[in-house]
A and B are shown apart, each in its own frame.
Chain A
């Protein structure tokens, strides 16, 4: 009786301490993401003097000076447009190439399948700086240098492994019988795909597209090496902000982060779907 009681108390104690640990980890993780973003926000919305002063205030001033400066900055909107174009191209290409590869990996048995899967991952094993010079030379020869399409090609290479592996796991999650049922009900392989598989997989495809978009949006090295006139936002800011005063660096960082944040927030439902949480 007393034994049982102690066990009960012990259990509730472990449970509550477990809950504390859980809450603490969540708080820590959130702080890890939110605090830097918040500091970035404050400094962006502060007057130049406040940015460099100490101690800091944790309440933003809503001084739009730095942002206005950027809005008027020459080449700024152009770079933003380039970033979006390159990211969209990357998104489309990595889905168009990655999804069929993922489908083939999940549905067909072929020789060298395991090797193929490993090679996909290996593409991530080559550091971009190593490839930058040969790539630049190749791009100049073919006339792809300094174009959105050329850069999107490089970004697609970076995003493709993820696109293939994500879509592979998505396709594997859809029973073959659904497709077979569609074939017996009058579908060809293609119509079975468009009428049955595609609707089921669309959330996942969207998620992998977003992933590609973000990879391209964040990428700075290839963008800096391969573009000169048509810089993307990352490359543009890296180039122009090197010598800029602190408050402008903060504003630049803010401009980089916010669109990606808004984008991810808008499509977070699909990101969850990618991990199979809402994909029922």
Chain B
């Protein structure tokens, strides 16, 4: 059992507040992804859990044990680093067995566990090599095998795939997911790549300026962003926004059109819709096409709605050219509303 609890963790570097009051519970064997742009504090949070960084305030618990005062080696964690950190003076075998040797396990047991994890990561033929003789992908495999061989309660990964080329990244991503699902460890995975986050995570914590703005399943984060930031960050392209004015009785005026929305006393809200949730119809928002990008199955159409940039993903059968006028109807159940003051979602 390795449930992770992060309680009121904050971190300051001098006058810079890197993390504000983080509270997060990660269930046993859950795959949690910390997602955010660089500088949002996701790596700092991971390093605090690992014990490589000390929090300014707050507590970290793993498996019902408070561990924030312990050195990294006593926390029951293993970590995979972005630049692999494979020891250059040791063979692959000794790299994978490094942690086991530190635990003073007998030789035959070390050999058995190294062999097993090496087979799991498909690097059993590389055991005698040094890291200088390995490719980036192979080094990454060694780094993951080294962490898995420890049989840790928690495995922490800091952008482990971002130094690999695109094709290899896809392959390793699928493999990582399979291997970790079988290993029964709790995993925390830091990335700035939303596709990686979506495909790997049981739950995603979207981070922004030192705060967790939403922690939910990938589909939930995508469909129901809790804050305008999440809506504008997740999705490629992200959600479209337009200002909406309250016209009473749950009706909102968006770009001259009246649309049903939340029953709210607020004067203004932000209307949001995903580009793929727009259809060409006889009634809807009037948009002037600026740019058409064919993506194969779809067209990515960049338009202009009352001076605001607006993107739609439409079927590629349609003949649309720059300068055309379109009438785009949003799918009613996919429309989201945000409070422009608090930037929070309004139901």
Contacts and interface: CB of A to CB of B under 8 A. Distances in A.
B89 A199 contact: yes
B50 A184 contact: yes
Contacts of A187: 73, 102
B228 interface: no
Contacts of A178: 85, 87
A175 to B, nearest CB: 7
Contacts of A182: 87, 98
Contacts of A244: none
Given A188-B71, A280-B132, A181 B85 contact: yes
A39 interface: no
Contacts of A185: 73, 78, 98-99, 102, 146, 150
B85 A191 contact: no
Interface in A153-200: 175, 177-178, 180-188, 191, 196, 199-200
Interface in B72-124: 72-73, 77-79, 81-83, 85, 87-89, 98-99, 102-103
B79 A181 contact: yes
Interface residue SS majority, chain A: helix
B245 to A, nearest CB: 53
B266 interface: no
B73 A177 contact: no
Contacts of A180: 50, 52, 72, 79, 81, 85
Contacts of A200: 88-89
A186 B103 CA distance: 7
A182 B50 CA distance: 12
A188 to B, nearest CB: 7
A183 B81 contact: no
Contacts of B103: 186
B11 to A, nearest CB: 16
B85 A183 contact: no
Contact of A184 (B78, B83, B88): B78
Chain A interface extent, by class:
10 to 19
Contacts of B82: 177
Interface string B36-72: 0000000000000011100000000000000000011
A186 B79 CA distance: 11
A73 to B, nearest CB: 47
A252 to B, nearest CB: 44
A188 B73 CA distance: 7
A176 to B, nearest CB: 9
B125 to A, nearest CB: 23
Contacts of A280: 132
Contacts of A186: 73, 99, 102-103, 150
Nearest to A200: B89
Contacts of B85: 175, 177-178, 180-181
Interface in A237-251: none
Contacts of B99: 185-186
Contact of B83 (A175, A188, A191): A175
Contacts of B102: 185-187, 191
Nearest to B158: A177
Contacts of A191: 102
Contacts of B79: 180-181, 184
A169 to B, nearest CB: 18
Interface string A263-280: 000000000000000001
A273 to B, nearest CB: 13
B164 to A, nearest CB: 17
Contact of B72 (A175, A177, A183, A199): A183
A184 B87 contact: no
A199 B87 CA distance: 10
B168 to A, nearest CB: 20
A185 B102 CA distance: 7
Contacts of B146: 181, 185
Contacts of A181: 79, 81, 85, 87, 146
B71 A183 contact: yes
B72 A196 contact: no
Interface in A108-138: none
Name the residue in A183, A185, A187 with the highest tally of chain B Cβ atoms < 10 Å from its Cβ: A185
B107 to A, nearest CB: 17
Given A181-B85, A185-B73, 15 more contacts: A177-B82, A177-B85, A178-B87, A180-B52, A180-B72, A181-B81, A182-B87, A183-B52, A183-B71, A184-B72, A185-B98, A185-B99, A185-B102, A188-B73, A191-B102
Interface of B: 50-52, 71-73, 77-79, 81-83, 85, 87-89, 98-99, 102-103, 132, 146, 150, 156
Q: Which 3 A-B pairs have the closest CB atoms?
A: A186-B102, A185-B99, A181-B85
20 contacts: A175-B83, A177-B81, A177-B83, A180-B85, A181-B81, A181-B87, A182-B87, A183-B51, A183-B73, A184-B50, A184-B73, A184-B78, A184-B79, A184-B156, A185-B73, A185-B78, A185-B98, A185-B99, A185-B146, A199-B89
